[in-house]
Amino acid sequence: MLSLVCALLAVVTVNGLGVYWPSQVAEVTLADGTKFLGRMIRSEVNPDTDKMSVQFKVGNREQDPQRQDFRWIRYDAILAITYPAEVYVLERVENGDFYGYLKDTAGPDLARLSGIPVAEAFPKALGSVRSKSSEEIAPISKKLLSLGNELQKTQDKILRLTYRRDRLLADSRSGNQSRASDVDRQIAELQASSQKIKEQSDRLVGQQQLRLADLRRDAVVMTNPAGKETSIALVDIVRFHDPNAMGFWAKSRYYLSRIGELLWENPRESNTEGGLFPAIFGTVMLIFLMAIACFPLGVLAGIYLGEYAKEGFLIRLVRIAVNNLAGIPSIVYGIFGLGFFVYGVGGLLDQWFFPERVASGTPTFGTGGILWASLTLGLLTVPVVIVSTEEALQAIPRAAREGSFALGATKFQTLVRVLLPTASPGMMTGFILAMARAAGEVAPLMITGVVKLAPQMPVDGDFPFFHLDRKFMHLGFHIYDVGFQSPNVEASKPMVFVTTLLLLIIVLAMTSVAIYLRNRMRRRYQVRTI
Amino acid sequence: MNATLAIPFRTVAASSLPGEARNHSAHDDSIVQTRELCLFYGSKQALFNISMDFPRHQVTALIGPSGCGKSTLLRCLNRMNDLIDDVSITGSILLDGEEVNDPTLDVIELRRQVGMVFQKAVPFPKSIYENVAYGLRIAGIRDRRVLDEAVERSLRRSALWDEVKDRLHDSALGFSGGQHQRLCIARAIAVSPEIILMDEPCSALDPRSTTRIEDLMGELRGEYTIITVTHNMQQAARVSDFTAFLYEGSLVEFGPTKQLFTKPEKKETEDYITGRFG
Ligand SMILES: Nc1ncnc2c1ncn2[C@@H]1O[C@H](COP(=O)(O)OP(=O)(O)O)[C@@H](O)[C@H]1O
Ligand SMILES: [Mg+2]
């Protein structure tokens, strides 16, 4: 069993670490004379025919009628495989990688590069287009984003006022009529300003489009082994490399830049490319919120059960419940979370604070969000903390308590000054177990607020900075979504390995920190007699 | 500092005690008097009509076979039995004339007056300094000078100062058992109690540490009243001024140690100290 787990971990680690290493791109010549570029992935022997086939990743997705990334080639159909140093791999914003040879750079802004060899001209052209795009397009995008926020806020206000007006109109007391028309006037004003915002952003979108179209004229011309030319707009290129010519250091640098992207960027192409930052952030924040919710509660409950509760029917019942809560399938917790937190508590909050949003069917708290998901997880893990707190308190020798009482300490003083420090490593163990369990749970999240692509993060620069009602991304759910729900399963396999590895690393890192803390506490608080 | 902790116990003249009390007195000046003390764990009686006077500023040893109620009697004196559910006590215990079992008595003040050292020395998970200062701190004393002074005095008194003075702020947990026990004694002394109860303080220690603790008891008598429980007859003979022999919850014999060990009045006492049973 253990060896199986180790093997699985090894597979995940090897595959996950290898994903971003730039392997060589082969030029394959087939028996029928056609040639193509691709990365060899693996080979397989067909058990019926005893013939070997080789799988290649071929890129250039848009040129394949079936938009396939992979080709299986019979081994005996291959005439030759070479690794020309001139092969380039272009990572694009859309349609994945492009494999080909550099032919030329062309465009209105690139005339000055015409004399230079294309291998030097291409990076320069890319650089100049990028700086232009960040000068011209990025400010517009930023402006558009803030306009979008403003529009959202205005519309929220309109919604609120509309709700108020309708309430006023429904109530026929005197004075309400005139108040309603007051509100109407305000609504009209807001609508006018929202109209203005819309127009402004439409104008900006037009500008952006124009600029983009302008920039798109700067392109790189690529050829395939057959000599067919393809022109690729430079703005669409995320990164490029020439794997067959790269040395070890160049490859390492490329590798690190890919890791950097993974950790800090947003995902692209329905999550199969780009970074995982929102999912990493969501996972870590979820666990933190869970800890904040479950640790104090669990410790307090453990202290109560262990130190203060008088043994009786009710306490026995509670104890049995706590011990059995750990065995309930996590999806049941999810359903409870949905019913209790989302619909119950969230629904109530909405009714009190955002009644207009309930009426319009866009609830704020009455829908899944990171707060509810973390509380659900907290509920799932709190028994572990309770039980370990209680056990840690019970394990303290009677002499430690009596020593404190004999010096005139009260029960509370004894608890705070002697028992809790002594029990802290044990409590920490429970906490570590809770954290490890919470980090791996996906099922309860799926109905309490996780999404495959969150437009906004739960923490951002917008007041009040923490938006715990927002939906969030999560590495575990990402694995499920990318690996099993995406249309292009084969192409997303590397991402699954990478995400799995990352999740494992995060869980490992968090529990390691906790274990380190616990060992320090142990050293401080545990008796070592010689 | 003494002033902050001292409790104005009413001193009752010896003559106001019941006349028969003198029968149980082995000494003129007693600090604690028990009268007809009975203790029940649930329905099981553990002490039967114990009436004895513990002499002030002397070492009194409680001996007897295990399970005879020595610890139970000791724990009555600072009401540690309160911590156990389902204990009931009858009879009276007077500490300087004050009824210890009075439900309105401030137990916390009582325990500051009557310190206790246990068989298993478990220091608090704190530094040496904080261990000794614990009793003062929970009494609300924060003045650093007072604490420093009390810590040093207590550690000197318990013969630990020279060993630990350079690492007062290290954890107290990484020591030998003998040092732990002396630290627990220092901890008890720090609050300036009248009485120190010791429940088999040496039974978990090696011979060398035992000797040190015994020497310490000798040094502390005169300043404190010490009541110690021991399994070890030689120890009782060495360290105590008075010895009480308990058997199956009853006080069999109580008198000056020398007399009890050389000319015991009761047959059971003689059998026990000559090792014929127990
Ligand atoms: N917490 C308790 N609950 C019930 N019975 C107890 C408890 N503590 C001690 N006893 C009983 O009281 C008697 C005296 O115990 P103890 O005072 O500990 O004896 P000693 O210290 O002399 O060995 C024993 O029979 C013991 O079983
Ligand atoms: Mg005992």
Condensed to tens digits (0 to 9), the pLDDT of residues B144-158 reads 999 999 999 999 988
Q: Which residue, of A217, A234, A261, is where some domain finishes?
A: A217
Residues A321 and A190 in one domain: no
Q: Amino acid letter at A423?
A: A
Q: Tell me, what's the pLDDT at B26?
A: 56
Determine phi and psi for B247, rounding to 5 degrees. Answer: -145, 125
Give the model's pLDDT for residue A415: 95
Q: Quote the ligand 2 centre to B69 CA distance (angstroms).
A: 7
Number of independent structural domains in chain A: 2
The CA distances from residue B168 to A475, B127, B184, in Å, are 49, 7, 15
Residues A326 and A425 in one domain: yes
Question: Does residue B68 have its Cβ closer than 6 Å to ligand 1?
Answer: yes
Which of A403, A417, A526 lies nearest to residue B184, judging by beta carbons?
A403
Tell the residue nearest (CA) to atom 3 of ligand 1.
B41
Query: Full-prediction pTM beyond 0.80?
Result: yes
Q: b/e string for A11-39 if b means 16 or more Cβ within 10 A?
A: ebeebbeebbebeebbbbbeeeeeebbbb
Q: Is A224 inside a domain boundary? A: no
Do A304 and A402 lie in one domain? The reply is yes
Domain map (residue ranges) of chain B: 24-273
pLDDT at position B27: 61
pLDDT band at B175 (very low <50, low <70, confident <90, very high): confident
- pLDDT tens digits, B80-100: 998 888 999 999 999 998 999
Which pLDDT score, from 0 to 100, does residue B262 have?
A: 92
Interface size, chain A vs chain B, as Cβ–Cβ contacts under 8 Å:
84
Residue A393: inside a domain: yes
Mean pLDDT for B182-198 is 93
Burial of A287 (0-12, 13-18, 19+ CB in 10 A): buried
- Position B16 scores a pLDDT of 38
> What pLDDT does B22 receive?
40
Under the banding of pLDDT at 50, 70 and 90, the label for residue A361 is confident
Cβ neighbourhood burial of B162 (10 Å; 0-12, 13-18, 19+): exposed
User: What is the distance in angstroms between the Cα of B202 and the nearest Cα belonging to chain A?
Assistant: 15
Output the CA–CA distances (angstroms, integers) from residue A145 to A139, A204, A264, A394, in the order listed: 10, 11, 20, 57
What digits encode the pLDDT tens for the residues A261-271? 999 988 888 78
Q: Is residue A484 part of a domain?
A: no
> In this structure, is residue A511 part of a structural domain?
no
**pLDDT (average), residues B108-112:** 92
CATH of the domain at A379: 1.10.3720.10
**A213 and A281 housed in the same domain:** no
Second CATH level (architecture) for the domain B24-273: 3-Layer(aba) Sandwich (3.40)
A1-52 pLDDT, tens digit each: 889 989 988 998 888 888 889 999 999 999 998 999 999 988 999 888 888 9
Which residue range forms the structural domain that includes residue A376?
Answer: 277-476
pLDDT above 80 for B255:
yes
pLDDT number for residue B274: 85
Residue A284: per-residue pLDDT? 93
Give the pLDDT score at B17: 40
Whether A237 is in a domain gets the answer no
pLDDT tens figures, A42-99:
899 988 888 899 999 998 888 888 888 888 999 889 999 999 999 999 999 888 899 9
What are A308-333's pLDDT values in tens digits?
Answer: 988 889 999 998 998 888 788 999 99
Instruction: Measure in Å the smallest separation between the Cα of B259 and chain A Cα atoms.
Output: 33
Q: How far is the CA of B240 from the centre of ligand 2 (A)?
A: 18
User: Which of A418, A422, A523, A529 to substitute to test the interface with B, most B CBs within 10 Å?
Assistant: A529
pLDDT tops 80 at residue B19: no
User: B275 C-alpha to center of ligand 2: Å?
Assistant: 19
Give the pLDDT score at A528.
53
Facing A408 at nearest CB: one of B138, B177, B184: B138
Instruction: State the average pLDDT over residues B42-69.
Output: 94
Average pLDDT rounded to a whole number, residues A434-450? 90
Contacts of A301 (CB under 8 A, 6+ apart): A322, A382, A386, A389
Cis peptide before A464 (omega within 30 of 0): yes
Contact yes or no for B102/B91 (Cβ under 8 A): no
% of chain B residues with pLDDT over 70: 89
Is the pLDDT at A113 greater than 60? The verdict is yes
pLDDT, mean of residues A115-132: 88
Query: Does A77 fall in a domain?
Result: no
At A440 the pLDDT is 85
The ipTM of this complex is 0.86
Distance B74 CA to ligand 2 centre (A): 9
Q: Is B203 on the interface with A (CB under 8 A)?
A: no
Within this chain, do residues A290 and A390 fall inside the same structural domain, yes or no?
A: yes
Angle at which helices A475-484 and A489-525 cross, to 10°: 160
Of these ranges, A224-238, A485-499, B20-34, the one predicted with the greatest mean pLDDT is A224-238
Single-letter residue type at A72: W
Does the CB of B191 have a partner CB in chain A at under 8 Å?
yes
Q: Which of residues 150-179 of B touch A (CB under 8 A)?
A: 171, 173-177
pLDDT at A527: 59
Question: Is the minimum distance from the CB of B72 to ligand 1 under 6 angstroms?
Answer: yes
The CB of B46 under 6 Å from ligand 1? The reply is yes
pLDDT category, B24, cuts 50, 70, 90?
A: low
Q: Which chain B residues touch A402 with a CB distance below 8 Å?
A: 80, 83, 116, 118
Confidence class of residue B23 from pLDDT cuts 50, 70 and 90?
A: very low
> Is A418 within a domain?
yes
Mean of pLDDT values over A335-346: 93
Counting Cα atoms < 13 Å in the Cβ hemisphere of A489 gives 4
User: Taking a C-beta distance cutoff of 8 angstroms, is the pair B242, B256 a contact?
Assistant: yes
From A202, A217, A232, give the residue that closes a domain.
A217
Point out which residues pair with A388 in neighbouring strands: none
pLDDT tier at B10 (50, 70, 90 boundaries)?
Answer: very low
Give the residue-averaged pLDDT of B99-126.
Answer: 91
Q: pLDDT above 90 covers what percent of chain A?
A: 47
For B122, which of A399, A413, A524 is closest by C-beta distance? A399
As a whole number of angstroms, the distance between CA A424 and CA B9 comes to: 40
Kindly state if the Cβ of B43 falls inside 6 Å of ligand 1: no
- pLDDT for residue B196 is more than 60: yes
Q: Which of B80, B173, B177 sits opposite A406 (nearest CB)?
A: B80
Residues A184 and A311 both lie in one domain: no
pLDDT tens digits for A125-180? 899 999 988 888 889 999 998 899 899 889 888 888 888 888 888 887 778 888 88
For residue A340, tell me if it sits in a domain.
yes
Statement: residue A304 has pLDDT above 80 = yes
Element (H, E) at A163: helix A118-170
Q: Is A173 exposed, middle or buried (0-12, 13-18, 19+ CB in 10 A)?
A: exposed
The residues facing A132 across adjacent strands are: none
Token pair 């650093």 is found at B144
Ligand 2 mean position, distance from CA B63 (Å) = 10
- Any idea which ligand is nearest the CA of B73? 1
Q: Mean pLDDT, to the nearest integer, of A346-366?
A: 83
pLDDT at B5 over 70: no
A472: nearest Cα among A295, A277, A275, A272:
A277
- Report which of residues A525 and B219 the model is more confident about: B219
Q: Is the pLDDT of residue B1 over 70?
A: no
For chain B, what is the mean pLDDT? 86
